[in-house]
């Protein structure tokens, strides 16, 4: 393929396409149905007025499926920090304000967050008794109808001349914002960052400060029930197991056990 590659992730590569557009080309294991679902979700989010790319097309290139998307001319929030580490606090404030902006959108037509989490927990490697306890714990947690990204972190926020944009919406759901914040908490505080991630060492060194600033700025716009946020942590940790990320499983299992014990429940 002669297209200029702009980047890649665990699900896809991104190439420059026609003027003003990029091609997000999924790896071969992803199907047409996967591409069409992400296109549908991304377009629905864009129609809600969220700063996100518009979908132009779904197509097949050399046996792989992809999306043609509006090209957001910008850099990830991680690269933005890398170019000037003094921006770390401002970047965290941006993340918090933007996350709150998403959660103000009602998304009753999107897939259920609860069903999404249940499917992941049922599909990951867990002892059956622990899986049952997790699902019982989740039954006690309130549902919601807010727009939730499902994978909200600095790599999925682009800083552009027009302001910040949110990308990568395959996990968009309607649900409880606290579950979405719990996922972001997990990613910022507990995930294994790739060795080649820009600003990796700076974020590792200051991730607690980054997280607290993100959370404080979210709360500037909306008070948070921290007990409810913590209640979601074992659920999102279990769902994260489904992603089979080397090196993370021991920490995720620890978060599951600690989270359940905090509520007088354990397997």
Q: What's the sign of the alpha-carbon dihedral 82, 86, 91, 94?
A: negative
What is the residue range of 52's domain? 5-70
119 and 202 inside one domain: yes
Please report the pLDDT score of residue 193 as a whole number.
Answer: 65
Q: Is the pLDDT of residue 192 over 80?
A: no
Residues 102, 50: Cα–Cα separation, whole Å: 7
What is the pLDDT confidence band of residue 153, given thresholds at 50, 70 and 90?
very high
108 and 208 inside one domain: yes
| pLDDT 10s digits, 198-208 | 556 666 678 89
Residue 128 lies in a domain: yes
Q: If DSSP codes are grouped into helix, strand and coil, which group holds residue 157?
A: strand
Please report the pLDDT score of residue 92 as a whole number.
Answer: 96
Largest Cα separation within the chain, whole Å, is: 58
Domain end: 41, 70, 99, which one?
A: 70
196 and 215 inside one domain: yes
13 and 123 inside one domain: no
79 and 122 inside one domain: yes
| pLDDT 10s digits, 49-79 | 999 999 999 999 999 999 999 999 999 998 8
Please report the pLDDT score of residue 220 as a whole number.
Answer: 80
Higher pLDDT, 102 or 82: 102
Domain end: 70, 87, 102, which one?
A: 70
Residue 267 lies in a domain: no
Contacts of 90 (CB under 8 A, 6+ apart): none
Helix, strand, coil shares of the chain as percentages rounded to 5?
50, 20, 30
Residue 266 lies in a domain: no
Phi, psi of 69 (to 5 degrees): -125, 155
Residue 218 lies in a domain: yes
Residues 230, 163: Cα–Cα separation, whole Å: 31
Between β-strands 163-166 and 55-61, what pairing exists: parallel, antiparallel or unpaired?
Answer: unpaired
Q: Where are the alpha helices (DSSP H) in 84-225?
A: 88-103, 113-123, 128-139, 177-190, 200-221
82 and 166 inside one domain: yes
95 and 62 inside one domain: no
Number of domains in the chain: 2
Query: What's the CATH number where 147 sits?
Result: 3.90.1200.10
Helix orientation angle between 177-190 and 249-261, rounded to the nearest 10 degrees: 130
Residue 147 lies in a domain: yes
Residues 206, 189: Cα–Cα separation, whole Å: 10
Query: What's the CATH number where 59 sits?
Result: 3.30.200.20
58 and 175 inside one domain: no
* Tokens linked to 246: 């080397």
DSSP 5: E
| pLDDT 10s digits, 126-140 | 999 999 999 999 999
Domain end: 70, 98, 119, which one?
A: 70
What is the pLDDT confidence band of residue 196, given thresholds at 50, 70 and 90?
low
216 and 142 inside one domain: yes
């Amino acid at each position: 393929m002669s297209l200029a590659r702009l980047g890649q992730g665990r699900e896809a590569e991104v190439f420059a396409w026609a003027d003003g557009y990029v091609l997000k080309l999924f790896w071969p294991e992803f199907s047409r149905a996967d591409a069409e679902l992400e296109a549908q979700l991304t377009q629905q989010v864009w129609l809600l007025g969220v700063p996100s790319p518009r979908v132009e097309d779904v197509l097949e290139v050399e046996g792989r499926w992809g999306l043609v998307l509006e090209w957001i001319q910008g850099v990830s929030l991680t690269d933005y920090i890398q170019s000037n580490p003094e921006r770390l606090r401002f970047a965290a404030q941006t993340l918090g304000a933007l996350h709150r902006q998403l959660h103000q959108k009602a998304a009753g037509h999107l897939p259920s967050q609860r069903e999404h989490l249940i499917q992941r927990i049922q599909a990951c490697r867990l002892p059956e008794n622990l899986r049952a306890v997790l699902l019982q714990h989740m039954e006690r947690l309130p549902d919601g109808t807010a727009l939730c990204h499902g994978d909200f972190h600095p790599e999925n926020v682009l800083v552009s001349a027009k302001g910040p944009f949110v990308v990568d919406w395959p996990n968009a759901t309607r649900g409880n914002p606290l579950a979405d914040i719990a996922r972001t908490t997990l990613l910022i505080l507990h995930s294994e960052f790739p060795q080649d991630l820009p600003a990796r060492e700076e974020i590792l060194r200051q991730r607690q400060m980054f997280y607290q600033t993100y959370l404080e700025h979210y709360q500037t716009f909306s008070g948070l029930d921290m007990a409810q946020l913590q209640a979601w942590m074992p659920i999102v940790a279990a769902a994260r197991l489904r992603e089979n990320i080397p090196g993370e499983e021991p920490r995720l299992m620890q978060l599951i056990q600690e989270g359940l014990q905090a509520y007088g429940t354990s397997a």
